Amino acid sequence: MIEGEGCFSRHGSRPRFYPKVVVSSTDEDVVRQLDRLLKVGTVYGPYHASSMKGTKPVWLWHLHGKRALVLMRKLRPYMSRRRVARIDDFLSGRGLQ
């Protein structure tokens, strides 16, 4: 789920950025299951794209700060090369500059 629908990013503003993991899906049950399995993070939604009629609502799961870094370390062995490179940026501090 995180590999396909998630992203590793940052939030905040200079000079203080925080790591963030976000998963988005139009399937509320999938997002809630992720939340139950990981036992960390927060579910937000539903969000509706007001400019696009007929689209499904979107649900988001967020985790940020130190707990996001802990999750990134745990997920790293299971991620694709591109995701591993992004995680490594955060673990080294480069992703927070």
Domain ranges of the chain: 2-92
What are 47's two structure tokens?
């969000």
Look up the pTM and report it. Answer: 0.84
What is the architecture of the domain spanning 2-92? Roll (3.10)
Q: What's the chain's Rg over C-alpha atoms?
A: 14
Convert the pLDDT of each residue in 42-87 to its tens digit.
999 999 877 667 788 999 999 999 999 999 999 999 999 999 999 9
Q: What are phi and psi of 71, to 5 degrees?
A: -65, -40
